[in-house]
């Protein structure tokens, strides 16, 4: 299984990626998690990414694409991978195509978790109370949702055109959403 996981901030990508990666025995690769680990570790990559993340903006493509290319080259992706939060704009999607072509492989599925804006905003504000993530404040959440609408939402049509899009409703309990995702992808 070689798949990407799409959806607005707060739709449950990170939550479901962990479960799906266990189910399919493939690594879940979250660009957001890699950036956050680098910020925490005070690396050069983290220093460059932090200002964009804290503002709710996308980290520039040249930084993100290079990071994903390196990650996909690691040994554990041989049996597949689940990219969580990448690609996030059409240029990243085209770059991913080129990475996969260089590896001689193709994408099996682009899995989109859908959720309305009120629900995702409520989830992220709840997470802010629990985790205190710097980008979970109300103005930054608003900005992230705008960035999603203008930059990331066009990927739905992009992958639909490729015939690999699988859309799943992200509302409901976490287990229910997992069951829906597994059924939608495995029965397609």
Give the interface with ligand B4P as residue ranges (CB under 6 A). 9-15, 30-32, 35, 52-53, 56-59, 64, 85-86, 88, 92, 123-124, 127, 135, 144, 172, 174, 177
Contacts with 169 (C-beta within 8 Å, 6 or more apart), sequence order:
114, 115, 177, 180
Q: Has 127 been annotated as catalytic?
A: yes
Which residue is catalytic, options 23, 127, 143, 180? 127
By beta-carbon proximity to ligand B4P, the closer residue of 29 and 165 is 29
User: Catalytic: 180?
Assistant: no
Our answer to whether residue 69 is catalytic in this structure is no
Task: Give least dist CB 163 to ligand B4P, A.
Answer: 23
At residue 81, the 3 state secondary structure works out as strand
Of 2, 19, 88, 123, which is the active-site residue?
Answer: 88
Active site residue 19: no
Q: Which two tokens stand for residue 47?
A: 């220093």
The question of whether 48 is a catalytic residue gets the answer no
Kind of pairing between the strands at 165-169 and 28-30:
unpaired
Asked if residues 162 and 110 have their Cβ atoms less than 8 Å apart, the reply is yes
- Nearer Cβ to ligand B4P (2/144): 144
> Nearest Cα to 81, choosing from 16, 3, 174?
3
Q: Give the residues across from 28 on adjacent strands.
A: 82
Nearer of residues 2 and 123 to ligand B4P, judged by Cβ: 123
Integer Cα distance of 31 and 45 in angstroms: 12
Which position's Cβ is nearest ligand B4P? 32
Scan for tokens 């804290």, then name that residue: 54
Closer to ligand B4P at the Cβ: 57 or 99? 57
The set of catalytic residues is 13, 88, 127, 133, 144
């Amino acid at each position: 299984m070689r798949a990407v996981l799409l959806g607005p901030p707060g739709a449950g990508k990170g939550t479901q990626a962990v479960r799906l990666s266990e189910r399919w025995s493939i690594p879940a690769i979250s660009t957001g998690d890699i950036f956050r680990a680098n910020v925490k570790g005070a690396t050069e990559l983290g220093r460059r990414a932090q200002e964009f993340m804290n503002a709710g903006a996308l980290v520039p493509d040249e930084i993100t694409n290079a990071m994903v290319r390196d990650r996909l080259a690691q040994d554990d992706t041989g049996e597949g991978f689940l990219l969580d939060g990448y690609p996030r704009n059409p240029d990243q999607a085209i770059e991913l195509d080129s990475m996969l072509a260089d590896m001689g492989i193709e994408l099996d599925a682009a899995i989109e978790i859908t959720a309305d804006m009120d629900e995702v905003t409520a989830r992220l504000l709840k997470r802010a109370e629990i985790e205190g993530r710097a980008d979970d404040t109300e103005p930054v959440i608003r900005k992230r949702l705008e960035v999603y609408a203008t930059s990331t939402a066009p990927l739905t049509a992009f992958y639909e055109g490729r015939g690999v899009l699988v859309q799943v409703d992200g509302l409901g309990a976490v287990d229910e959403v997992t069951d829906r995702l597994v059924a939608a992808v495995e029965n397609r």
